[in-house]
Every structure is written in C-alpha cells, then in structure tokens.
Amino acid sequence: MDSIHIRGGNALFGETKIQGSKNAVLPILAAALLIEDVCVLENCPRISDVHHMLMLLERIGCRVARSDRTITVDARNVSEDTVSGENVTGMRSSIMLLGAMLGRVGEITMAYPGGCVIGERPIDLHLSALGRMGVKIYEDEGCFTAKAQKLEGSVISLPISSVGVTENVILAAVRAKGVTVLQNAAKEPEIGALCEFLREAGAVIEGIGGSVLIIQGGHELHGVRFRIPADRIVAGTYLMGVLGAGGHIFLEDAPVAQMQSTLRAAELAGAEINVSRDGLSVMIDVEKRAVPMIKTEVYPGFPTDMQSLLMAALTTAPGVSVIEETVFENRFRIVEQLRKMGACIELQGKRQAVIVGVDLLLGCEVTADELRGGAALVIAGCMAEGETIVKNRHFIERGYEDICRDFQNLGVNIYTG
Ligand code: EPZ
C-alpha cells in the first residue's frame, strides 16, 4: 500500500536529525552539468526527486554514483541534447536543466514540465529571461527546443522573484560571454547554496544573498566537493508537528538562520524556541494560541512551503487564525482533507483561509495530492485522536527521506502501510 498510518493524540518527545535540502540539491545537481569534471556532493537527501534528477543526468551522458548520502557526478562526457520521457513531465526540477544544458551544449529539447495541483507552474518567465541572453525557443506539440548559438550576458529584471528562474539564469550566465546582471533575483537560501557551489567551482558571482546578482561568465569551472545544507522546510515540518501535538523536541542540524520567519510564526502560536549550536529545541508547554494573520511571501518572508504545515498545527489552536497564500494560486487543497478530520476552516476566495480552532481532530482516511500538503496530513494525524491513514505516500517521498522514521524518533506511533 502507498500509505502512512498514524495513531495520534500524544505529545512529541525526542530528537531527530534534519536531512539535506531537496531544493538546494536539485539545482546543484543541474549545475554539475556545467562542470567538465567530477563533483562530489555530500549530505544529499535520499528522496525520489533526487533519484529522478540522477536518471535525467545519466540520460544526458553524465556518470553518476551514489554511496549513502554522497553523490558523485562525472559530467566530462555530456553529449545528448534531449531530455524527454516521463521523467521530465513527472516533476518540476527538470526545468532546471534548461539553463544548465544551454550553458553546457547550447541546446535542449524537453517536454513542457508538468504543472501540479498547487498551481499551473508556467515557465514563461524562464523563457523570457533566457531570451534576453540570446536563447531562441522553438515549440512543437508539447515539447520545445531552446537554442543559443552563443549565450550573451545581459541585464535581466525579473517581474517576480521566481526561485527557478533565478536558478536558470545563474546556470546559463556562468557559461555566457560577458556579464549578466540579474535584478529582483530570488533570495531563498537555496539560491545562496547554488552560488556558493558555483563559486567554489571557479565561477565569479557577486551579490549572493541579495536581490541583484552579478555573474561574470566564461570563467573555467573545476570539480568540487560540496556539502548540501540542511532542509529548512523539513525542519519546519517537525517544528509544526510539535506545535500541533505538543511536547518537547530537538532538531539536530536545523538551519536556524534560514528559518527566522517560521520560528516567529511558531512563537506567535505559543512555541518556546531555544537555539543551540547544533540545532533547535522546541517545546509547547503553554496553551497553543491562534495566529491572527500569517501571509506567505518570498524569502525572508514566511515560506509558501510552510503554509499547509502551519495550517494543520493551527486547526486546534483556540481562537481564529488567518493564513494568506500569495505565491501559488491553488495551495489550499489540503483544507478539504483537514475538514474530514474535524477541522473548521473557511476559504475566502483562493488566497485566504480562516481557521477556527477546534478541541480535537479525529483520525480517519485522508488523501495527499502534493508534497507539503501530504506532510501536513501527517502532522494532523499526529494530533488526531485515533488512527489516521494518509494515502499517496509517494507524494511525501518526493521531499522527505523517511517521514515515518523521523516522527518515530519523536515518539509518534507511525508506520508505512
Ligand atoms: C521553487 O519552485 C520550489 N521548488 C518550490 O518548492 C517553492 O514552493 C517555490 O520555489 C517558491 O519558494 C524547487 O526549488 C524545486 P517560483 P519554483 O518560480 O521555482 C510563478 C516544494 O514544496 N511563475 O518561485 O517553481 C509561479 O507560478 C516546492 O519543495 C510564473 O508565473 O517557484 C508561482 O506562482 C513546491 N512563471 C511564482 O512564480 C514562471 O516562468 C513563484 O514560483 C515561473 C514562475
């Protein structure tokens, strides 16, 4: 069965180590394509999105080896310029191969990456930004070919601080002729990790961490050994688990500096947070409380990926909480499943959810249809009286190495079905 079973209703106690970041390792794997050498990546999460990305890299001609959480990518013989098949339409991160393949071989043909239930996930801004660098797009029945005789550095100003577009421009710009200035760049920590990786490989990038990046193209790139940073959203998931169910946990390796807005939200809801050198101690020993308004925003604002996780935790917070989703147009799908468990949530249009705290959630069978919503249902299962069965575990496995193992470490009665 493709499910997770949770017998909830007890507080969380214990500690668990936070895995490497999905949204950092995926663009860095794409960046390894740019380097005609061997790269070694440590602390890579064992998740299905990484498995798919490795399959894509091998299709393109990379030699890939994996030993536990260390991945070696040898991109010296990259040849094919076509990435196709279900691997591409099945996930978003394949779009990141666009910039890397243009930087490496000057051309790529791929299917339009599938959208997902949280939003249409268009790629118009990717194509227009790369167009500024001399990339031409040829469309053909669900596929497109992007080609650049010679990538040219350019001044590019993004209408929205898109994470993926920022990553694709960086990946193309490091091998372009001349300097690229990217304005209104996304500032998510995963962008910083990508830039640090490329800098260690010999790229010249200024403004890392800010909204204006200056990339000097054409510098020789060499192989590097690089450690993938811990996953701030996975750490935030377990933080919301203890906010929801109560207790006292320790999250080893939690990237606290990247979680400030998430920690603030948890403290507003009653969490007592203590930061130590190697992680994060969180406890809920006072009455959890509603949060009058939380709005998702680009970094360093409250992350959209944390939205459904916080919502689950607030379903039993006394009072009225309001969450506003400003990044994706369809990211409240989980509301219907939480209502099945007894949550009282009203939607105001597609962008605002009003959560009225109830005394108790009751376990039942619920269905995940995307990654973070699925994790939110697991949190709700930890909180609920009785047994919860979360169906479609495979969505959760896209981003979590082993959510059952981690919650078992925190004392939850949980197992895969
Ligand atoms: C990245 O997606 C993350 N994925 C997402 O995490 C995360 O939710 C998102 O950034 C926002 O932080 C990875 O890093 C693999 P965007 P991305 O481009 O790059 C619109 C998870 O749970 N847009 O910043 O696709 C878009 O529709 C996943 O780990 C266009 O309109 O996000 C959205 O409304 C979910 N046209 C907004 O921009 C475009 O060409 C922000 O999206 C591109 C984006």
CA distance 96 to 238: 28
Question: Can you list the alpha helix ranges (DSSP code H) found in 61-188?
Answer: 86-89, 96-105, 124-131, 163-173
Question: Can you list the alpha helix ranges (DSSP code H) found in 106-157?
Answer: 124-131
Q: Is the CB of 112 under 6 A from ligand 1?
A: no
Q: Is the CB of 326 under 6 A from ligand 1?
A: no
Report pTM.
0.96
- Per-residue tens of pLDDT for the chain, all 417 residues: 899 999 999 999 999 999 999 999 999 999 999 999 999 999 999 999 999 999 989 988 899 999 999 999 999 988 655 555 444 444 456 888 999 999 998 888 888 876 577 887 788 999 999 999 999 999 888 788 899 989 999 999 999 999 999 999 999 999 999 999 999 999 999 999 999 999 999 999 999 999 999 999 999 999 999 999 999 999 999 999 999 999 999 999 999 999 999 999 999 999 999 988 788 887 766 679 999 999 999 999 999 999 999 999 999 999 999 999 999 989 999 999 999 999 999 999 999 999 999 999 999 999 999 999 999 999 999 999 999 999 999 999 999 999 999 999 999 999 999
If you ran DSSP here, which 8-state letter would residue 242 be given? H
For a mutational test of ligand 1's pocket, the pick from 121, 125, 231, i.e. the residue with the most ligand atoms closer than 8 A to its C-beta, is 121
**380 closest CA partner among 316, 298, 299:** 316
pLDDT at position 114, please? Answer: 66
Strands of the 107-111 sheet, one edge to the other = 82-83, 107-111, 143-147, 136-140
Site of tokens 């998740």 = 47
Q: Is the CB of 92 under 6 A from ligand 1?
A: yes
For a mutational test of ligand 1's pocket, the pick from 19, 23, 295, i.e. the residue with the most ligand atoms closer than 8 A to its C-beta, is 23
CA distance 246 to 5: 19
Ligand 1 atom at minimal distance to the Cα of residue 371: 22
- Among protein residues, the one with the nearest Cα to ligand 1's atom 21 is 305
Contacts of 157 (CB under 8 A, 6+ apart): 183, 184
pLDDT at position 285, please? Answer: 66
- Among protein residues, the one with the nearest Cα to ligand 1's atom 25 is 164
Ligand 1 atom at minimal distance to the Cα of residue 304: 8
Question: Can you list the alpha helix ranges (DSSP code H) found in 185-288?
Answer: 189-200, 232-245, 260-268
Q: Compute, in angstroms, the gap from residue 162 CA to the centroid of ligand 1.
A: 6
Ligand 1 atom at minimal distance to the Cα of residue 164: 19
Do residues 377 and 404 lie in contact, with contact meaning Cβ atoms separated by under 8 Å?
no
pLDDT at position 140, please? Answer: 82
Q: Is the CB of 160 under 6 A from ligand 1?
A: yes
Q: Compute, in angstroms, the gap from residue 122 CA to the centroid of ligand 1.
A: 9
